[in-house]
Amino acid sequence: MGRGFIQTLILLVVLGFPGLPIMAETGNGIATNQAKWIISSGSSANLPSGSLLSLALALERGAETVWLDLVLSKDNQIVLLADTKIDQLTDVKEIYPDRSRPDGSYYSFDFTLEELRGLSHLPVAPAGTVSANSLFRSHLPVTALDDFLGYLDIVFTELAARPTLICTLKHGWLHQQQDKNLGAIVLQTLEDYQSTKANASVVIASYDPEELQQLALGRGAGQAEDIGFMQLIGSNNGEEVQRLEFGTFQPYSYDLLFTRFGLKSVSSYADSIGLDPQAVMDDSAALNRPQFLDDAHTLGLQIVCCRVDSIPPGFAPQGSGPEALFEHLLFTIGFDGIVTDQDRLARDWLDNRMAPPSYEQNNTIERLIDRVEKSGSKPPYPIESDTTR
């Protein structure tokens, strides 16, 4: 864990844990305690996330917030890919069979943007994973962030609302090993975009607390209102973040972030927190850290449940199907938002849930009242006791 983050925590121990009003306004996202944040994972209709076609379809279907996973190419261009290892996501093994690293993997930062654009996403299997085997494989080229922003500028006037982009930094520590600063390049690109076009709200998300803190506290003057920051928290298995300790890279532990002092530190640079289900939920989809959401809300942080589609079916305590899971996550547990492939279904379900009684229901009640008034009869009253006369 970095020195800056430790110093911040020490300062918080000295200052204590002052509270803030629940649901205090944040820079981006939700500002009231009534709204729920439905975030499209960027994958739709069994199309791979990050492909321009899947993102365009998500926006066309009404997505107001989309998730973008970002990595760098060899020439420091920002690319929409869910991992730095690209052999499980694209057909790179077929196009460049001799360009793997000694570990047998292919990495985004070993290929230029033009080379990556020549690759195609692998098709999505029914379970939501990609598959290299397909008789009829469509060509869905790898997309640069600039390509997507350019598309967004073209269709912006046709969208129902100004979209929000959750720009997630993938494996910043691996980029650093290649002398690449993914966070700094993404921040500069988004600042430039906001100062010129600003056809979308943007939030930078990262699983690395040090990376995100440095970006949030070191951003340019005047950018505070334009860019939000989301701290992501996953498992302590090193899948997302590792640290160099005693000469070897070790998995990063998020345990400190679940304490009140760690949470207070996060609130000093982030507007929201994204939690992977396996980090905070047990096998019955119950929250194993129930106080965490209350503490976060006290500090004005929004809490989003990420990777909702990875939760096994039937984990919601009541009912079945995705709607029961949405109900459990958003209203039983109390998450402020979810990230899901089924964002269209979630929005429709939420609209119906939050809608006032229908006209037909109100009309039926009014007809019953009219019938009672016209008949002159009165509804029965409880029998009065002697003590009430």
Residue 382 has pLDDT above 60, yes or no: no
Confidence of residue 203 (pLDDT cuts 50, 70, 90): very high
Please compute the mean of the pLDDT values over residues 213-234 and round it to a whole number. 82
User: What is the rounded CA–CA span in Å between residue 21 and residue 40?
Assistant: 29
* Least confident interval from 71-85, 108-122, 151-165, 349-363: 349-363
Classify 204 as helix, strand or coil.
Answer: strand
What is the pTM for the complete model shown?
0.82
pLDDT number for residue 317: 64
User: What are the pLDDT digits (tens) for 98-148?
Assistant: 999 999 999 999 999 999 999 999 987 655 555 555 444 578 999 999 999
pLDDT at 155: 94
**E strands, 235-388, where?**
242-245, 248-251, 272-275, 302-305, 337-340
Q: Distance between CA atoms of 356 and 128, rounded to whole angstroms? A: 35
Read off the pLDDT of each residue in 284-300 and give the average, rounded to a whole number. 89
Residue 187 has pLDDT above 80, yes or no: yes
Strand stretches in 50-140, DSSP E: 65-72, 78-80
pLDDT at 84: 97
What pLDDT does 135 receive? 43
Phi and psi angles of residue 238, each rounded to the nearest 5 degrees, phi first = 80, 5
Q: How high is the pLDDT of residue 153?
A: 94
Which tokens in the block code for residue 190? 């988004």
370 pLDDT higher than 90: no
Q: What's the mean pLDDT in 76-97?
A: 96
- The per-residue pLDDT of the chain, averaged, comes to 83
The beta strands (E) that lie in the chain are given as 37-40, 65-72, 78-80, 164-169, 201-206, 227-233, 242-245, 248-251, 272-275, 302-305, 337-340
Amino acid at 282: D
Mean pLDDT on 302-310: 94
pLDDT beyond 90 at 68: yes
Identify the pLDDT of residue 285. Answer: 75
Topology at the third CATH level for domain 32-375: TIM Barrel (3.20.20)
Q: How confident is the model over 142-167, as pLDDT tens digits?
A: 999 999 999 999 999 999 889 999 99
Task: Give percent above pLDDT 70 in the chain.
Answer: 76
User: Mean pLDDT across the stretch 251-261?
Assistant: 94
Question: Distance between CA 172 and CA 71 in Å, rounded?
Answer: 8
10 Å CB burial of residue 370 (0-12, 13-18, 19+) is exposed
Helices (H), 50-204: 52-60, 92-95, 113-117, 145-155, 172-177, 182-196
pLDDT at 17 over 90: no
| Residue 4, amino acid | G
Domain positions in the chain? 32-375
pLDDT above 90 for 262: yes
Q: How confident is the model at residue 380 (pLDDT cuts 50, 70, 90)?
A: low
